[in-house]
Amino acid sequence: MKTIFFSRSFGIILWEMVTCTVPYNKIDPIAVMWGVAKGTLKLPIPPSIPEGFKLLMTMCWEQQPSNRPSFQQIIKHLDIKTPEIILFEQEQEYAELTHICSTEINENLSKLPTIDISSILQLTNDQLMEKRKEELQQITDIRRCYEIRTQQINTLYIELKSLMIQLEEREQVIKKKEHLNF
């Protein structure tokens, strides 16, 4: 389950590596946390970067954690896109693209609305209660996903243990047969 949360961070790190830009630079950290949590603030994906990276970032930044890729899926995606990545890594192209990306990002970031924390603090009690209910629902969804994963792990453990016992029994039978043959 945790890897689903970490995949969002991986998407941000990938964005930072590709664009050579500090994410959410010059934006209040509290506003970033609020905007990202609510899905109203996303890093702009420059159109000039390879499609494979765009897709991977978009998948990593899905609002619902269960819709984000696992690290195994990320690795498979990167393996499939290796030719595109190799082309992207060529120095001259990379330098040009970095400059283009930086320009595009600065343009997009300047278009982002600023979040006024004081207006957020003035929310009515009803709005706060509604937001708390949404947050609790998200927590419930995450917990449910965690419980399902735990059940799956327990089932796999029981199956593995059963197979290990069967294997040990077979080994004992084979040893007895070998002992009788000598």
pLDDT per residue as tens digits for the range 111-150: 766 666 666 666 666 777 888 899 889 888 888 888 888 8
Percent of the chain with pLDDT over 90: 8
Distance, CA of 71 to CA of 66 (rounded, Å):
13
Q: Which residues contact 123 (CB under 8 A, 6 or more apart)?
A: 131
Name the pTM for this structure.
0.49
Helix (H) and strand (E) counts for the chain?
8, 0
CA 1, CA 157: separation in Å to the nearest integer?
Answer: 17
CATH architecture of the domain with residue range 2-122: Orthogonal Bundle (1.10)
67 residue type, one letter: N
Give the mean model confidence (pLDDT) for residues 13-19.
84
User: Measuring CA to CA, which residue among 155, 126, 157, 46 is closest to residue 57?
Assistant: 46
Tokens of 106: 């600065």
Question: pLDDT tens across 46-60, in order?
Answer: 887 778 888 888 998
> What are the residue ranges spanned by the domains of the chain?
2-122, 131-182
